[in-house]
A and B are shown apart, each in its own frame.
Chain A
Amino acid sequence: MRNAFADEITRLGASDPRVVLLSGDIGNKLFDKFKQQAQNRFYNCGVAEANMMSVAAGMALSGLRPVVYTITPFTTTRCLEQIRVDVCYHRAPVVIVGTGAGLSYAELGPTHHSLEDLALLRSLPEMTVFAPCDEVELRLGLRAALAQDGPVYMRIGKKGEPVIHSGQPGFRFGKAITVREGEDVCLISTGTMMPVVLAAGDLLGRKGLSARVESFHTIKPLDTGRLKEVFARYRLIAVVEEHSRLGGLGGSVAEWLSSQDGLRGHMIGFGTDDVFMHEVGSQEYGRHKFGLTSENIAETVSARLASLPSA
């Protein structure tokens, strides 16, 4: 996703002179092409993310479309107050990009994990929170972000994620994309979990259960229309995210659900526990530890379905 981001921002920067790229002392090679074509619109802001975020807000208030890029914790929690006050309160059209979604940088330790960012950023007024599942959604979302007048937080993976969408799906923030149709259960995925969720759907298929798969690339605004539809139709809806179970997409769906009456569906959430993963491990290790595997999702979902009344 990182490379797709660099490629897409280079394209967009070539056609839109308002696009300015700010990096917190990373991705220098990654952005060589952008720098070649628009040297005066690339700023390495150093290891000083609070200032970088305010500078971006100031640029956005002066007619530019700044895109801020660094590793997720440093572009979110490190400078949360700058995002809250300078970006959101001013409704400054800043695109905040965090690379290393969830446990993408598991090996780097908890300082580099991003398991609270969705919860924190979606609580800020004016903010759009976006987590693409692949580079197709990333490119579409980046274009949409630069075309809108308010701030967008974009949480992307690292590199080598598979492409999910063949062709160009219709795209709008706050509008989920149906990736696969199914009859018995609905799996809602956001961001980098999509390949795992699709694999879980395959495993459920082998158990004779047909799973619909939805890509909720936007956490905020929440696609409540799609939720209404699936909670009316399915007995069980599983929400899967590489994020704490506190306050992310699952929390968001649960908040919405608490205000609904008469829906058929029950919800089950998959995400990380309320802990810091202090031990060393790969992304696969971390996902396994928190049950974010296709096997666990398929197993838990089929068991839960069996326990629900069939009516």
Chain B
Amino acid sequence: MDAKIGKLEQTARIIRARIIENSHRTQTPHLASCLSCVDILVAAYFEVLRIDPSKPTESNRDRFILSKGHGAAALFQVLALRGYYPESMLDHYGEDGSVFAEHPPAPAYLPGIEAATGSLGHGFPLGLGMALAGRIQNQTYRVIALVSDGECNEGSTWEAAMLAAAQKTENIGVIVDFNKWQATGRSEEIMGPVSLAGKWRAFGWNTCEIDGHDMGELVRRLQQVPDGSGKPVAIVAHTVKGKGVSFMEDDNNWHYRIPSAEEVKAAKRELGVLA
């Protein structure tokens, strides 16, 4: 297990380096938001999800929804490395006519994408529809939706939370990338002075809080969807915005800031990814 976790951690470092390089090369923002959820994406795509990248529309596949669509720059790297499309496609990131924008396109345009997100509060409810459809059609797939703490401002997030609990939707898990920041400030100050995990519990979800950068814990918790409780599962993952690079960590300027060539070099040195 330790060797497996070590390998996942190495994958996460490579993904982080690629995201930072890509941000510099293509002037793509939301860097810090991407870095905070890399470990979650890697745990899901490289260990937990029952998926076959060569069959991206297989009907009983697990579905992963990046409900925080502004993390697309992270998802695009993960899907390429996982084999959904050639990594060389990313050479055209951000070019006119490319599919790689700041947010994920509709599934028809890029293999591996389950939902076009970017307007917050849509992906998780869409995922709930997919989870209920699985139950109606007697399929065994699971749906994991990754939401941001800022996204928990959206009323539709809580509408979906209520319906999922009322319908005892066991095959959906929401993981909150709780990096304590949203675009313009501390999430607790803007809309969330009450415990986030407490809210999910109050809405009827079986809720746990974990270190969102502890790969072993991420794998263990994500594998427990469904967890046998008869309730949907909420994982509040405490994360650090800009995780992995000392001068970006917990500094909200990196929500929009683009790294210089020097900063890319320094970041890669810290990550131990030189290529």
Binding site for B on A (CB under 8 A): 20, 40-41, 43, 45-46, 48, 50-51, 54-64, 66, 81-82, 85-86, 89-91
Contacts and interface: CB of A to CB of B under 8 A. Distances in A.
A154 to B, nearest CB: 19
B116 to A, nearest CB: 5
A117 to B, nearest CB: 20
B155 A50 contact: yes
B104 to A, nearest CB: 11
Contact of A64 (B121, B122, B131, B137): B137
A58 B136 contact: no
Interface string B155-197: 1100110110011000000000000000000000000000000
B112 to A, nearest CB: 14
A264 B155 CA distance: 52
A57 B129 contact: yes
A89 B118 CA distance: 12
B59 A63 contact: yes
A82 B156 contact: yes
Interface string B135-168: 1110000000000000000011001101100110
Given A50-B156, A54-B156, A63-B59, A89 B130 contact: no
B163 A48 contact: yes
Given A50-B125, A51-B160, A54-B122, 7 more contacts: A54-B128, A59-B136, A62-B129, A62-B134, A85-B122, A86-B122, A90-B108
A91 B108 CA distance: 9
Contacts of B49: none
18 contacts: A43-B132, A45-B163, A46-B162, A48-B162, A51-B125, A54-B160, A55-B129, A56-B129, A58-B115, A58-B130, A58-B133, A61-B114, A61-B115, A62-B133, A63-B59, A81-B119, A90-B106, A90-B108
Contacts of A20: 133, 136
Interface residues of B, number: 31
B44 interface: no
Contact of B116 (A50, A58, A63, A85): A85
Shortest beta-carbon contacts, A-B, top 10: A58-B129, A54-B125, A51-B159, A62-B133, A48-B159, A55-B129, A58-B126, A58-B130, A59-B129, A59-B133
Contact of B127 (A58, A64, A81, A89): A58
B230 interface: no
For A40, A41, A55, A59, the residue with the greatest tally of chain B CB atoms inside 10 Å of its CB is A55
Contacts of B107: 61, 90
A50 B115 contact: no
B116 A41 contact: no
Contacts of B121: 50
A64 B125 contact: no
A50 B163 CA distance: 12
Given A51-B128, A55-B128, A57-B129, A41 B163 contact: no
B72 to A, nearest CB: 15
A86 B136 contact: no
A91 B121 CA distance: 19
Contact of A55 (B106, B137, B163): B163
A167 B172 CA distance: 47
Nearest to A87: B126
Contacts of B108: 90-91
A58 B249 CA distance: 35
Interface string B89-132: 00000000000000000111000001110010110011111111
Q: Which of A46, A54, A81, A90 has the most CB of B within 10 A?
A: A54
B136 A64 contact: yes
Contacts of A48: 156, 159, 162-163
Contacts of B162: 46, 48, 51
B126 A89 contact: no
A58 B167 contact: no
A119 B159 CA distance: 27
A64 B59 CA distance: 12
B68 to A, nearest CB: 15
Contacts of B115: 58, 61, 86, 90
B106 A91 contact: yes
